[in-house]
Structure 1
């Protein structure tokens, strides 16, 4: 289960946690706190992108943060640069990459004889341009702006085309952050919706623990979709 916590209520929520002698473990790559009680993990708290966590003091505070968000599906992608939550620049890219009858991306057929056909060559050519445009835009943001985090959403099938040598997007970049939402159709509107959601915190816990976390609603929790991946 999930509950959305407004960023400005986080200090109160963490006070609620400390009163109950709960232990917290910070995971930098996910910008998330695992929540433990008596050595047992009882939940997790995904932090807002623009909030810092200090393990020594257990304090959290907002800071000016700049980030890139890019979301890719076969044939459509949205890329944006944000300064402290505000969208400064964005682009949406589209390409003819889907085989009409099968409804699947042409790049899944790279090792089949179908790539020799004219239609397949067109799709593969557009796919190459499509990914090149994404790489160039992300690289441009990284070159011209101070970027603290790089949020991405794409299927593992597309990883070799996104995180490959010479693209400017290093798969080992510590700023990379997997967007914890399922993005079905990455339009500009979706880009803004995802950005807004990532500026709140999300409390995750098992259904059998819902009563245990019930009182935590007092600091300002509101219902959040129960699906593991939010649909856009």
Structure 2
């Protein structure tokens, strides 16, 4: 397949290159370890990135360079109400925080995000990150970015790469699994539009 027939553009948020030809196109999701210039040219610089995974009651923070994990930390908090199995945050949206148990869980929730941001601040002081691999439940975003301890990056930071994969409760093993996923590339295309691409991939 002659790549001179294609125009291409780089999407930083998705860390992917889109190739198009005669109205049709396909997408190449790049490994996070690959650095790309604005004009979609691959460079040979080594990538250092922070990974932040947040779900109700648990979070993982890791510092990676190339394919190596340099540091990691797992955070946990008691945020789920017994028997009902709902998170304290969801409960607050419906029934408030009048009971003592609810107030305790809310305090632990706020401390959970303060601890995460305290750790992030240290990493950002000690490192220059090329990317921020990020996955966070939507309902938790206001608590992360509205914490008393300020998050050291903005939610619109251009380095953020929203991980395109479902996340289980983040622990160290889950983080390493996510690292393996991010270290791989993926071609997304319609085989009816690019039968020659289908043939090439079948021979890899």
Do both proteins adopt the same fold according to a TM-score greater than 0.5, normalized to the shorter chain? yes
Which residue is equivalent to 1:18?
3
Q: Comparing both chains, which one has the higher relative contact order based on Cα–Cα distances under 8 Å and sequence gaps of 6 or more?
A: 1
Q: Secondary structure at the match of 1:99?
A: coil
Cα deviation for residue 105 of structure 1 reads 1.1
Cα deviation for residue 198 of structure 1 reads 1.0
CA contact 1:99–1:105 (8 Å) conserved in 2? yes
CA contact 1:66–1:84 (8 Å) conserved in 2? yes
Which residue is equivalent to 2:77?
95
Q: Secondary structure at the match of 2:200?
A: helix
Which residue is equivalent to 2:22?
38
Report the Cα distance in structure 2 between the residues aligned to 1:60 and 1:180, rounded to whole angstroms.
21
Which residue is equivalent to 1:229?
none
Q: 2:87 aligns with which of 105, 113, 134?
A: 105
Instruction: Give CA-to-partner distance per residue, 1:93-124, whole Å, 9 cap, x none.
Output: 11110122332211123244441111111111
Q: Secondary structure at the match of 1:115?
A: coil
Cα root mean square deviation, aligned: 2.2
Q: 1:55 to 1:146 in 2, by over 3 A?
A: closer
Cα deviation for residue 55 of structure 1 reads 5.7
Q: Secondary structure at the match of 1:116?
A: coil
| 1:164-203 equivalence runs, <5 A | 164=146, 166-203=150-187
Q: 1:44 to 1:17 in 2, by over 3 A?
A: farther
| 1:138-157 equivalence runs, <5 A | 138-157=120-139
Mark the runs of 5 or more structure 1 residues left unpaired by the alignment. 1-15, 221-232
Q: 1:189 to 1:62 in 2, by over 3 A?
A: farther
Report the Cα distance in structure 2 between the residues aligned to 1:111 and 1:149, rounded to whole angstroms.
33
Which residue is equivalent to 1:85?
67
Report the Cα distance in structure 1 between the residues aligned to 2:41 and 2:131, rounded to whole angstroms.
20
Q: How does the TM-score come out when normalised to structure 2?
A: 0.88
Report the Cα distance in structure 2 between the residues aligned to 1:149 and 1:186, rounded to whole angstroms.
19
Cα deviation for residue 61 of structure 1 reads 3.7
Q: 2:36 aligns with which of 39, 53, 60?
A: 53
Q: 2:53 aligns with which of 71, 96, 99?
A: 71
| 1:124-135 equivalence runs, <5 A | 124-135=106-117
Mark the runs of 5 or more structure 2 residues left unpaired by the alignment. none
